[in-house]
Chain A
Amino acid sequence: MIGPLSALIKTTGFVHLTPGMIFMWIIGLVLIYLAIKKEYEPLLLLPIGFGILLANLPLSGLMTPEHGLLWKFYEYGIHWEIIPPIIFLGIGAFTDFGPLLANPRLIFLGAGAQAGVYVTFFAAHAMGFNIMEAATIGIIGGADGPTTIFLASKLAPQLLGACAVAAYSYMAMVPIIQPPIMRLMTTQAERKIRMKKGRKISKREKLLFPIVSTFLIILLVPASAPLIAMLMLGNLFREAGVVERLKNAAQNELMNIVTIFLGLPIGATMNAQVFLQPKVLFIFGLGLMAFMVSTAFGILLAKTMNLFSSNKINPLLGAAGVSAVPMAARVVHKVGTEADKQNYLLMYAMGPNVAGVIGTVIAAGIFVTLLTP
Chain B
Amino acid sequence: MATNVMAPMTGKIVRINVEPGETVAEDFEILVIEAMKMETPIYAPCDGMIEKILKKVGDEVEEDDVIALMA
A341 within 8 A of B: yes
Q: Which of A326, A329, A341, A346 lies in contact with B43, CB distance below 8 A?
A: A341
| Size bracket of the B interface | 10 to 19
Tally A-B pairs: CB < 8 A. Answer: 29
Per the 8 Å Cβ criterion, residues 28-71 of B in contact with A are 35-38, 40, 42-43, 45, 63
Secondary structure of the B side of the interface?
A: loop
Is A350 among interface residues, defined by CB-CB distance under 8 A? yes
| Alpha-carbon distance A347/B45, docked complex (angstroms) | 19
Contact status A342-B43, CB under 8 Å? yes
Question: Given A344-B8, A347-B9, A347-B63, does the pair A333, B40 have CB atoms closer than 8 Å?
Answer: yes
Q: B19 interface residue, CB < 8 Å from A?
A: no
CA distance A350 to B38 in the complex (A): 13
Residue B22 is within 8 A (CB to CB) of chain A in the complex:
no
Q: How far is the CA of A333 from the CA of B37 in the complex (A)?
A: 13
Known interface pairs A341-B27, A342-B43, A347-B63. Does A329 touch B36 (Cβ–Cβ under 8 Å)? Answer: yes
Measured between beta carbons, the chain B residues less than 8 angstroms from A330 are: 36, 38
Closest to B29 in A: A341
- The smallest beta-carbon distance between A239 and chain B, in angstroms, is 15
Contact partner, A342, options B35, B37, B45, Cβ 8 Å:
B45
**Chain A residues with a Cβ closer than 8 Å to the other chain, count:** 10
Contact B27 A346 (CB under 8 A): no
User: How far, in angstroms, from A329 to B36 measured CA to CA in the complex?
Assistant: 9
* A346-B40 Cα distance, complex, nearest whole Å: 9
Cβ-closest 9 pairs across A and B: A344-B8, A347-B9, A326-B36, A341-B43, A341-B27, A330-B38, A342-B43, A346-B9, A346-B40
- Which B residues are closer than 8 A to A by beta carbons? 8-10, 27, 35-38, 40, 42-43, 45, 63
- A-B pairs with beta carbons under 8 Å apart, 29 shown: A326-B36, A326-B37, A326-B38, A329-B36, A330-B36, A330-B38, A333-B38, A333-B40, A341-B27, A341-B43, A342-B27, A342-B43, A342-B45, A344-B8, A344-B9, A344-B40, A344-B42, A346-B8, A346-B9, A346-B35, A346-B36, A346-B38, A346-B40, A347-B8, A347-B9, A347-B10, A347-B35, A347-B63, A350-B36
